[in-house]
């Protein structure tokens, strides 16, 4: 079969992927071989790789084909984030309801496309879950060809050139729009409209989408210079996803409360601080993202600002992801009603909120990601009573913590389930790594302004599964010791803003798994350069 692929790696991988999903019987493999030979001789317009890829598409189950074709709507070599693609697929209605959540089923679909070599994983998170995906350019050509053939979508580049066009397509992707909006786009027929890059020309056209595209289901206007969302958006009764990330939107019209089918609303990096009254009517909301970015460097405690909670937010029982929301006594008390949440970011937390916050969080049995941020860097977060029915995988704490927090029942009994942890502005006097070393499954750790001491020690058998560590802005640390047998799985080491650290960590040569070391805003580089120049001068003499 190798010679039928002309020895081309992609063709071989695709065929191998198809065969790996078949039963190991001579009859079934012979049937596939006959189909392959027939496909190779049938279409003279395609090369061998194209014919093999075409066959692989035919072998895709029906439930995977829409998700596969959707990926062609992104630019070539585009990094497709898993979570974003999952939200799109759910909003498009591609995911069949089953025993698991829609999110888990959708992730399973993407996993199948990866196993079939129709997508490949570019980046995983520290605990092995796919994070970013990419479509091979030849596979994308197949997706574009099939998409046009099935009138799935229309894609425009920056010169009004149609990369592919489905004759009856109601999905449009604007990869670029250098010459403005193509006249062939009929807003009355739109069901999906996506922009992938900042496009100034769209800023004067988007309002016609709100007023004319009555059947729109998916609308992504990220990073357009939009300041106002018109009242007509409330007429988009079928809208299930609205993304306004990176826009200049400051407020939303009250008419948005009529969007009874809305599942995803994303307002990250906008200027929104409040939701209109009556927003709790959006009973089908699954994802609600909103925050105002104040400092892109993230060097300050107040680098971003959350939005105020709206009345009745705690009654949205389909909500899966919520953030970032400001704490209030009422919201913290009602938060336990959202027991189905999977991800939560709550900010502006005060000491007086903490006891009730711990009670509310104890009711959340599906929470996998939690971020708690204090109202300022001096406010004490009293989280010693933190407990969960099922411990989250990711925990981020921003603000002062008492010295005993890392010895509290949660960390001593359930902390071993944590995979990713961030501690910021905690201001520990004692080294936090002593207690964190007991978190046996931890794969990623970030410490930012978390320690006021001078020395960090990593002893043997500490952090055996840790793959990434980021030490950031620890102002007094001047020595780091890594003992043999510590951090044995570490692949990425980042040291940033440790201005008192002048030497490479002692024992770094013990890190046999280390793949990448990043040094930012430190004097270590000056020390290394000084040593190199001294060595070179000795060699010259």
Question: Tell me, what DSSP letter sits at residue 137?
Answer: H
Count of alpha carbons within 13 angstroms of residue 276, beta-carbon side: 16
Neighbours of 376 (CB within 10 A): 13
Last residue of a domain, one of 99, 134, 169: 134
Based on the fold, state whether residues 128 and 7 are members of the same structural domain.
Answer: yes
What pLDDT, on the 0 to 100 scale, is given for residue 208? 73
CA dist., res. 358 & res. 360, Å (int):
6
Going through 2-95 in order, the beta strands assigned E by DSSP cover 80-81
Q: Which domain holds residue 303?
A: 294-435
CA dist., res. 501 & res. 508, Å (int):
14
CA dist., res. 52 & res. 285, Å (int):
41
Last residue of a domain, one of 73, 106, 134: 134
Q: Which of 81, 95, 320 shows the shortest CA–CA distance to 220?
A: 81
Based on the fold, state whether residues 104 and 177 are members of the same structural domain.
Answer: no
For residue 202, give the CATH number of its domain: 3.80.10.10
Based on the fold, state whether residues 171 and 257 are members of the same structural domain.
Answer: yes
Q: Which of 28, 57, 32, 52 shows the shortest CA–CA distance to 42?
A: 52
Question: Would 533 be classed as within a structural domain?
Answer: yes
Based on the fold, state whether residues 388 and 319 are members of the same structural domain.
Answer: yes
Instruction: Compute CA distances 192 → 141, 245, 282, 381, whole Å.
Output: 21, 17, 20, 44
Based on the fold, state whether residues 265 and 301 are members of the same structural domain.
Answer: no
- Strands 400-401 and 380-381: what pairing? parallel
Based on the fold, state whether residues 332 and 419 are members of the same structural domain.
Answer: yes
Question: Would 280 be classed as within a structural domain?
Answer: no
CA dist., res. 68 & res. 109, Å (int):
9
Based on the fold, state whether residues 457 and 414 are members of the same structural domain.
Answer: no
Per-residue pLDDT of the chain (541 residues; tens, 9 = 90+): 444 444 445 454 555 555 455 556 565 545 555 555 445 445 554 444 555 666 778 778 889 999 999 999 998 889 999 999 999 999 999 998 888 889 999 999 999 999 888 898 999 987 888 999 999 888 888 888 888 888 888 887 655 445 555 455 688 887 766 555 666 677 788 899 988 766 655 556 666 777 788 889 999 988 888 888 889 999 999 999 999 999 999 999 999 999 999 999 999 999 998 999 999 999 999 999 998 877 767 777 877 889 999 999 999 999 999 989 999 999 999 999 999 999 999 999 999 999 999 999 999 999 999 999 999 999 999 999 999 988 899 999 999 998 889 989 888 887 888 999 999 999 999 999 999 998 989 999 999 999 999 999 999 999 999 999 999 999 999 999 999 999 999 999 999 999 999 888 999 999 999 999 999 888 877 666 655 455 445 545 5
Asked if 272 and 226 count as a contact pair (C-beta separation under 8 A), the reply is no
Question: Would 26 be classed as within a structural domain?
Answer: yes
Based on the fold, state whether residues 298 and 424 are members of the same structural domain.
Answer: yes
Strand partners, 134: 120
Structure token pair of residue 432 = 């936090």
Question: Would 381 be classed as within a structural domain?
Answer: yes
Question: Would 351 be classed as within a structural domain?
Answer: yes
What pLDDT, on the 0 to 100 scale, is given for residue 433? 95
Question: Would 399 be classed as within a structural domain?
Answer: yes
Question: Would 277 be classed as within a structural domain?
Answer: no
Based on the fold, state whether residues 87 and 210 are members of the same structural domain.
Answer: no
Going through 311-418 in order, the beta strands assigned E by DSSP cover 321-326, 343-349, 369-374, 380-381, 394-398, 400-401
Based on the fold, state whether residues 240 and 361 are members of the same structural domain.
Answer: no
Q: Which of 183, 228, 171 shows the shortest CA–CA distance to 203?
A: 228
Question: Would 52 be classed as within a structural domain?
Answer: yes
Q: Which of 265, 262, 158 shows the shortest CA–CA distance to 202?
A: 158
Based on the fold, state whether residues 326 and 427 are members of the same structural domain.
Answer: yes
Last residue of a domain, one of 374, 402, 435: 435
- CA torsion through residues 72, 77, 78, 84, sign: positive
The total number of structural domains in the chain stands at 4
Based on the fold, state whether residues 129 and 166 are members of the same structural domain.
Answer: no
């Amino acid at each position: 079969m190798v010679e039928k692929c002309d020895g081309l790696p992609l063709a071989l991988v695709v065929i191998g992927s198809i065969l790996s999903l078949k039963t190991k019987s001579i009859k079934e493999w012979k049937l596939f071989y006959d189909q392959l030979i027939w496909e190779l001789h049938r279409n003279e317009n395609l090369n061998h790789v194209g014919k093999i890829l075409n066959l692989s598409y035919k072998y895709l189950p029906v439930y995977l084909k829409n998700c596969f074709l959707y990926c062609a709507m992104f630019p070539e070599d585009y990094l497709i984030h898993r979570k974003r693609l999952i939200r799109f697929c759910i909003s498009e209605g591609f995911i069949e309801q089953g025993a698991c959540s829609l999110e888990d089923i959708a992730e399973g679909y993407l996993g199948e496309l990866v196993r079939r070599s129709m997508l490949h994983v570019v980046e995983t998170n520290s605990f092995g879950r796919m994070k970013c995906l990419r479509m091979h350019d030849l596979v994308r050509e197949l997706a574009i060809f099939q998409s046009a053939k099935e009138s799935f979508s229309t894609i425009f580049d920056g010169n009004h050139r149609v990369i592919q066009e489905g004759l009856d397509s109601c999905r449009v992707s604007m990869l670029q729009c250098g010459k403005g909006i193509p006249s062939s786009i009929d807003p009355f027929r739109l069901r999906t409209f996506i922009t992938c890059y900042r496009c100034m020309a769209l800023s004067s056209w988007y309002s016609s989408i709100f007023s004319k595209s009555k059947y729109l289901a998916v609308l992504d206007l990220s990073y357009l210079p939009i300041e106002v969302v018109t009242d007509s958006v409330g007429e988009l009764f079928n809208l299930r996803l609205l993304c306004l990330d990176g826009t200049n939107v400051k407020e939303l019209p009250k008419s948005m409360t009529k969007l009874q089918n809305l599942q995803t609303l994303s307002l990250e990096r906008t200027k929104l601080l409040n939701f209109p009254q009556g927003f709790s009517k959006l009973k089908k909301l699954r994802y609600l993202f909103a925050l105002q970015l104040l400092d892109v460097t993230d060097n300050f405690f107040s680098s971003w600002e959350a939005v105020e909670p709206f009345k009745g937010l705690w009654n949205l029982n389909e909500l899966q992801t919520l953030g970032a929301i400001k704490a209030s006594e009422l919201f913290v008390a009602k938060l336990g009603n959202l027991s189905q949440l999977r991800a939560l970011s709550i900010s502006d937390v005060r000491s007086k909120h903490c006891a009730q916050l711990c009670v509310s969080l104890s009711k959340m049995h599906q929470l996998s990601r939690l971020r708690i941020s204090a109202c300022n860097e001096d406010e004490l977060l009293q989280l010693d009573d933190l407990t969960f029915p099922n411990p989250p995988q990711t925990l981020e704490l921003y603000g002062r913590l008492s010295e005993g927090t890392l010895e509290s029942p949660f960390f001593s009994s359930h902390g071993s389930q944590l995979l990713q942890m961030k501690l910021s502005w905690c201001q520990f006097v004692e080294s936090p790594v002593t207690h964190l070393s007991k978190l046996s499954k931890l794969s990623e750790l970030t410490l930012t302004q978390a320690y006021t001491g001078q020395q960090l020690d990593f002893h043997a058998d500490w952090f055996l599964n840790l793959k990434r560590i980021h030490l950031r802005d620890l102002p007094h640390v001047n020595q780091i010791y890594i003992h043999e047998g510590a951090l044995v799985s570490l692949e990425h080491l980042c040291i940033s803003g440790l201005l008192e650290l002048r030497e490479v960590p002692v024992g770094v040569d013990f890190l046999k798994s280390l793949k990448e070391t990043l040094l930012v805003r430190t004097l270590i580089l000056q020390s290394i350069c000084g040593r190199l120049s001294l060595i070179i001068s000795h060699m010259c003499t």
